[in-house]
Amino acid sequence: MKAAKYLALVIALALVGSFVTAPVASAQDAKVIKIASHSPLSGGQSLLGTAIRNGVELAIEQYKKPIEDMGFTVEFVPFDDQATPDVGVSNAQNIVNDPAILALVGHLNSGVAIPSSEVYNRADLAMVSPANTNVNVTDRGYPTVNRVCGRDDAQGAAGAQYAVEKLGSKKVYVLHDKTAYGEGVATFFAQAMEAAGVEVLGFEGTTEAANFDAIITPIAALEPDLIYFGGIYNQAAVFFKQARDKGIKANFMGPDGMDGSDLAKIAGEAVVGLVYTSAAGPASVYPAAEKFVEDYKAKFTINPEAYAAEGYASTQIVLAAIEKVLSENGGAMPTRADVAKAIRATTDFDTVIGKISFDANGDPKVATYYILQVKNADPAKWGENELVSSVTAPSPLTAKEMMEGGMEATPEATKSN
């Protein structure tokens, strides 16, 4: 018995020791440039979080050569925010304390990105977001915060427009997940629906993850023709499945958080026909993405989920900016502020998801919002979801400039099938 206790003590000490010594092993090298990814790699949303991580890794592998030719080693450091704000913020403290990290690609969840970027901004660390659509991500006007995707005000409006014009919705019930992202986009959607004269029967937030019975009961009694879920696929799928099982016939709709094949894996037949808006188009709409999809499949042996291409594109921007700073300062280690400035200055830069220019707030000057419909209950066929419509809209700052310049600034529907 005593021997066992000592053995346990020795094992515990060894474990503690290994944690203490681990950081020492990664000795600081002035010639190392690190790029971090920060997204949920574990938990219910890891499907999309891992897609972002993989996109960043692939882009670094393919585009690091020019920087390495200037005598630097480019390293990739993935972080796991667990889709939780406090984990994101505590990781952010660690990230800004590593001087070799010059830029970061992340997050998946706006609710995590907003508090974490406060930390990055204090340390001048540039963040390029592949997926955060909440308006407050960029509306704070931080010089370090950028995104390659669209905004929830436009996304909610695009969804509402489709719901009214194409689905003929008259009565809608809106649910959200109580996160900054989910509640934000659901609010914009509900406002746009009300403005279009649609009756909003209810606007409810819930963190329930498993048993939605009691939430479905009033919805069934109110008989809406459309249910909108502002949230992420892992929670929404369970809700949609149970709602169909309880005999609800209404159309289902959601924002870009629905764009994960696990939605079909969990909800099956229940989500066939579901319409979702997305700030990330399917690979088929990007001419340059064909090779990306092939490379991604070859490296990771899985299909790229939503935001893999956006993660890749964000990294392309980051690497080009670092390269530019290096060529301007004659090969000295760039400062974070210089990198952030170079990223913000990105204009008409060719990425895998098309040309990107940032406005003064870090929004892409023009963003396209895609409206897709789930076609098959088989998660392996998620990539075959049909693009039913798309809307291109300028960012608020760009729209203001255009108004001042006397140009038409209303969003225009470019394609509609």
DSSP label at residue 238:
H
- Complex with other proteins: residue 144 or 242, whichever CB lies closer: 242
CA distance 104 to 83: 16
Q: Determine the length of the chain.
A: 417
Stretch that binds other proteins, among 54-62, 242-250, 306-314, 365-373 (CB under 8 A): 242-250
Query: Are the CB atoms for 400 and 384 separated by under 8 Å?
Result: no
Asked if 44 is part of the footprint of other proteins (rule: CB under 8 A), the reply reads: yes
Number of other residues whose CB lies within 10 A of the CB of residue 237: 25
Using the rule CB under 8 A, which residue among 215, 366, 387, 409 binds other proteins?
215
Helix (H/G/I), strand (E/B), else coil: 395 = coil
Burial tier of 375 (Cβ tally within 10 Å: 0-12, 13-18, 19+): middle
Using the rule CB under 8 A, which residue among 141, 168, 218, 331 binds other proteins?
218
Using the rule CB under 8 A, which residue among 207, 301, 410, 417 binds other proteins?
207
CA distance 253 to 167: 10
Provide the residue type at 78 as one letter. P
Asked if 4 is part of the footprint of other proteins (rule: CB under 8 A), the reply reads: no
DSSP letters along 273-329, please? T-EEEESS--GGG-TTHHHHHHHHHHHHSS---TTHHHHHHHHHHHHHHHHHHHHHH
Residues 167-206, mask of contacts with other proteins (x by CB under 8 A) = -----------x-----------------------xxxxx
- Complex with other proteins: residue 40 or 281, whichever CB lies closer: 40
Using the rule CB under 8 A, which residue among 46, 132, 390, 398 binds other proteins?
46
- We find the least distance from the C-beta atom of residue 234 to other proteins, in angstroms, to be 6
Backbone angles phi, psi at 389, to 5 degrees: -170, 160
**If we measure between CA atoms, which residue out of 345, 344, 358, 341 comes closest to residue 394?**
358
Provide the residue type at 176 as one letter. H
Asked if 378 is part of the footprint of other proteins (rule: CB under 8 A), the reply reads: yes
- We find the least distance from the C-beta atom of residue 246 to other proteins, in angstroms, to be 8
Asked if 268 is part of the footprint of other proteins (rule: CB under 8 A), the reply reads: yes
- We find the least distance from the C-beta atom of residue 37 to other proteins, in angstroms, to be 19
C-alpha distance across the termini of the chain, in Å? 74
Provide the residue type at 36 as one letter. A
Backbone angles phi, psi at 79, to 5 degrees: -120, 150
- We find the least distance from the C-beta atom of residue 363 to other proteins, in angstroms, to be 31
Interhelix angle 46-63/289-300, nearest 10 degrees:
110
Stretch that binds other proteins, among 23-31, 89-97, 258-266, 363-371 (CB under 8 A): 258-266
Stretch that binds other proteins, among 67-75, 114-122, 265-273, 355-363 (CB under 8 A): 265-273
**If we measure between CA atoms, which residue out of 275, 278, 279, 285 comes closest to residue 165?**
275
Using the rule CB under 8 A, which residue among 77, 288, 377, 388 binds other proteins?
377
- Complex with other proteins: residue 112 or 237, whichever CB lies closer: 237
Asked if 265 is part of the footprint of other proteins (rule: CB under 8 A), the reply reads: yes
- We find the least distance from the C-beta atom of residue 207 to other proteins, in angstroms, to be 7
- We find the least distance from the C-beta atom of residue 43 to other proteins, in angstroms, to be 6
Using the rule CB under 8 A, which residue among 38, 107, 151, 241 binds other proteins?
241
Which spans of this chain sit near other proteins (rule: CB under 8 A)?
A: 42-44, 46, 178, 202-207, 209-215, 217-218, 220-221, 234, 237-238, 241-242, 245-246, 262, 265-266, 268-269, 377-378
